[in-house]
Amino acid sequence: MASNEEILAGLAEIVNEETGLAPEAVELDKSFTEDLDIDSISMMTIVVNAEEKFGVRIPDEEVKNLKTVGDAVSFISNAQA
């Protein structure tokens, strides 16, 4: 079970690998599409890598609700609980 800080750091690493964005830029209040400029295909890649890293399942219909980095951290944290 990872803490929220660990989930955020892990997500930042995944985002960095997919997009080249600096991990520090991946903050809880940042929107994936508007602030980080992540398109729908990159988002799916990030989701699948996050599933693998954190051992959770993020259904397709849930992906639309993950607007900010914070939304993703909360979802993963709850899914792990």
Partner 1 sequence: MSVPSLKQSNVHEHSRIVGLGAYRPDVIVTNDDVCQWIDSSDEWIRQRTGIVTRHRAPAEISVIDMAEGAAREALDKAGIDASQLGAVIVSTVTHPFATPSAAANLADRLGATPAPAFDISAACAGYCYGIAQGDALVRSGAADYVLVVGAEKLSDVIDNSERTISFLLGDGAGAVVIGPSDTPGIGPSVWGSDGSKWDAIGMTHSLLDVRDHAAATHANEEGAVAAAAAVWPTLRQDGQTVFRWAVWEMAKVAQRALDAAGITVDDLAAFVPHQANMRIIDEMVKQLKLPETVMVGRDIAEAGNTSAASIPLATHRLLEENPELSGGLALQIGFGAGLVFGAQVVVLP
Closest C-alpha to 18, from 35, 51, 41, 52 = 41
Instruction: Write down the least CB distance from residue 58 to partner 1, Å.
Output: 10
Interaction residues for partner 1, span 3-62 (CB under 8 A): 39-41, 43-45, 47-48, 60
Please identify which residue in 25, 28, 56, 63 interacts with partner 1, judged by CB under 8 A.
63
User: How far apart are the C-alpha atoms of 36 and 43, rounded to whole Å?
Assistant: 11
Would you say 28 or 44 has its CB closer to partner 1?
Answer: 44
Task: Write the DSSP symbol of residue 54.
Answer: H
Q: Both tokens of residue 62?
A: 């849930």
Binding positions for partner 1, rule: CB under 8 A: 39-41, 43-45, 47-48, 60, 63
